[in-house]
Amino acid sequence: PAKQRATVRATDPGFYFPVLPEDGDTEFPDRVHFAWELPEDPRRGLKPRLRRITYELGPIGPATAAGVDEAGRAVRAVRTVEDADGQLIPVVGQGDVVDAGTGVVSRMYAWNDAPSTTTCYLTDATWTLEDLKGPVDVDALPLDKATFATRSDGEVLDHLDLLIDFIPVVHVPNTVPPAEEHWGQSSLAKVLQVFDELASSDTDSARASATTGLPMVAISGVADSRTQMDVGPGSLFKLGDNGKLTAVDTSPALRELREHVKDLKDRAANNARLPAVALGTTDPSKAPSGYALQLSLGPLDSLIASMRLARDHKYALLLKFVQRLHLAGQHPDWTGVRVQPAKLVFGPYTPTDKQAVLEQVTIGVEKRVLSQETAITMLMEAGFPIDDAAEELKRIDNRSFEAARALADALGNPEEVARFLNRQAPDEPETPPVVLPPAGDDEDPEDDPAEAPGEGGGNTP
């Protein structure tokens, strides 16, 4: 509330408890809990507690305000007014409409074309663990023993009406969930068995290395069997007739265990679609060519593509939620704005040869096989610091004087050329008026013989 903007919080799926409907529509639950245990804090005098944050869809009710109950707890109370008979009646929120016949409250949301009777309520409650008796689960905690949180603007989070008709929670899976399933699959689910074998093999390797570092020695035919013998540098053993000293070498077993561990790691990498070059266990400079290196990254490309496919519509939903939250909060910059479709586009996750991409783009634009819009998009995907493709294209056009000259020759329209350069066209100079001689003075006076000098009595100089 203080910053007047939407906030995105990431929560571990282990704390996520959706209440899925029983009709099989498991994609969007009507109630979602986030719950986790809080440890004891002796310094602050706090006992072990359980905190639960709940988002729930329900019918629009009367307007509420922050208050306290008889026990002094911060709760929300229904706002009422007195009618003409002195009776207290509940009031509805601003903009809500009550149907006179049914009493149903409806609300017009900025992103809907028809009124809605549904809203989302937020509850943030904490329980002391010793107060939770009997068979209770996360969805059936007693609210009469809860302590409700208070937001920074003073609103008590006890069924607070958020003025939205959706649950602002997006579950982001790693895989596309199958039918009648909600969670998807972990990226490590396919290699959990290999991880167990790796742990066992590491334990065996540790035990084998102990016998290899301290070799086992068998001695027979010693002169005095009661003598304590220790194996170490400079040790001298006195053996009798037919005495023998045998050392047991366990290094081959250790070598096999290490090879087995290496095979298990390779198997885990292959099953998880993480090639050795992506894990950093292979020197990329030893690749025969860049094409061979790109081929080795093929499994990783498939993994990233599948995960992005599973999350693509989730990210679009997230961006839609952000816009709706700003509209619901009546942010002044969003007055009259409609929710627009938005998409999250990722850049490259592997190093790219920017020089090669720049050369391709330059040749493509120069040979006119690529448009400037496509070229700028390729540069953005390669990691060049371009924020807005349209703005970058406008900057390029502002300095394309050769192209502007060709446009002027083709169209002969200064206004169009100025618009291409994003400049103001110069004002056309006024054409000076044409001065014509008066009528009847077209003859040259030198052609008149009567007025020719040297002829006639009075004209002689």
pLDDT (mean) for 281-287: 72
Q: What is the pLDDT of residues 297-315, one digit of tens each?
A: 888 888 888 889 889 999 9
Contact 156, 66 (CB under 8 A): yes
How many folded domains does the chain comprise?
Answer: 2
pLDDT at 16: 94
Greatest mean pLDDT among 11-20, 209-218, 285-294: 11-20
What is the distance between the alpha carbons of residues 258 and 255, in angstroms, rounded to a whole number? Answer: 5
pLDDT at 342: 92
Q: Is residue 276 part of a domain?
A: no
Q: Which domain holds residue 77?
A: 13-161
Residue 267 has pLDDT above 70, yes or no: yes
Q: Is residue 126 part of a domain?
A: yes
Q: Is residue 410 part of a domain?
A: yes
Residue 140 has pLDDT above 50, yes or no: yes
pLDDT at 128: 94
Q: Give Cα 90 to chain centroid, integer Å.
A: 42
What is the distance between the alpha carbons of residues 397 and 201, in angstroms, rounded to a whole number? Answer: 64
Nearest to 308 by CA among 174, 133, 158: 174
Q: What is the pLDDT of residues 200-238, one digit of tens each?
A: 888 888 777 777 766 777 777 776 666 666 776 767 777
pLDDT at 227: 63
Contact 109, 60 (CB under 8 A): no
What is the distance between the alpha carbons of residues 52 and 216, in angstroms, rounded to a whole number? Answer: 60
Q: What is the DSSP letter of 150?
A: B
pLDDT tier for residue 160 given thresholds of 50, 70 and 90: very high
Residue 247 in tokens: 């050392």
Percentage above 90 pLDDT, the chain: 22
3-class SS letters over 287-318: CCCHHHHHHHCHHHHHHHHHHHHHHHHHHHHH
pLDDT (mean) for 117-128: 95
pLDDT at 10: 93
Q: Is residue 290 part of a domain?
A: no
Of residues 178 and 455, more confidence is placed in 178
Nearest to 270 by CA among 197, 175, 189, 190: 190
The alpha carbon dihedral of 390, 393, 398, 402 has a sign of negative
pLDDT tier for residue 460 given thresholds of 50, 70 and 90: very low
Q: Which of 67-71, 129-133, 205-209, 261-265 has the weakest average pLDDT?
A: 205-209
Of residues 329 and 68, more confidence is placed in 68
Q: Is residue 428 part of a domain?
A: no
What is the distance between the alpha carbons of residues 343 and 320, in angstroms, rounded to a whole number? Answer: 9
pLDDT at 399: 64
Enumerate residues 6+ apart whose C-beta is below 8 A from 302.
273
Q: Domain end: 139, 161, 183, which one?
A: 161
Q: Is residue 195 part of a domain?
A: no
pLDDT (mean) for 101-119: 91
Q: Domain end: 133, 161, 189, which one?
A: 161
pLDDT (mean) for 140-152: 91
pLDDT at 288: 75
Enumerate residues 6+ apart whose C-beta is below 8 A from 350.
297, 300
Nearest to 55 by CA among 189, 220, 167, 182: 167
Of residues 147 and 70, more confidence is placed in 147
What is the distance between the alpha carbons of residues 373 and 266, in angstroms, rounded to a whole number? Answer: 43
Contact 77, 67 (CB under 8 A): yes
Q: What is the pLDDT of residues 342-397, one digit of tens each?
A: 988 887 777 777 888 888 889 998 888 888 889 988 888 887 888 888 888 877 76
pLDDT at 461: 42
The alpha carbon dihedral of 286, 289, 294, 298 has a sign of negative
Q: Is residue 18 part of a domain?
A: yes
Q: Is residue 40 part of a domain?
A: yes
DSSP reduced 3-state for 253: helix
Helices (H), 399-450: 401-411, 414-420
Nearest to 145 by CA among 163, 121, 129: 129
Of residues 52 and 357, more confidence is placed in 52
CB environment 316-341: b (16+ within 10 A), e (fewer): eebbbbbbbbbbbbeeeebeeeebee
